[in-house]
Structure 1
Amino acid sequence: MPLAAIVLAAIAVTFEQLIEWRYGPMGIIGFIALAIGIKARNTAFGGIGAIILVMLLAQSG
């Protein structure tokens, strides 16, 4: 179990760094807002994070 937690934490940190490298500070803010919204089951906060990420993805494409 501790090994799985370490692996998941490493994957999460890597994903966050990739988002920040690719999309800058707004990408990390959107990702964090989405993650907090999902954990707290707050659809408004999660929706804001998702909208930020979608706008950044649409802008880069």
Structure 2
Amino acid sequence: MPFIALLGATFVVGFESLVSWRYGPMGIIGLLLLTIGIKARNPTCSSIGAIVLVLMMTRPAP
């Protein structure tokens, strides 16, 4: 059981750093809103976070 928790935490930290590196502060805000919305079972907050992430991923390459 502790191995699964450690593996999950490693995945989350790695994914967060990838989003931060690739999409910057707005990516972190979108991920934070999505996570808070899912944890709090608030569809508005999670929808806004998902929309921010989708917009960040579909923008044209610089």
TM-score by length of 2: 0.91
Unaligned runs of 5+ in 1: none
4+ long deviations beyond 3 Å: none
Letter in 2 for 1:30: G
Counterpart of 1:4?
Answer: 4
Report Cα offsets for 1:7-42 as digits up to 9, x if no partner.
100000000000000000110110111011011110
Residue-pair matches, total: 61
Unaligned runs of 5+ in 2: none
Give the RMSD, CA atoms, in angstroms. 1.0
What percent of counterpart residues are identical?
52
Structure richer in helix, relative to its length: 1
Secondary structure of the corresponding residue to residue 59 of structure 2: helix
TM-score by length of 1: 0.93
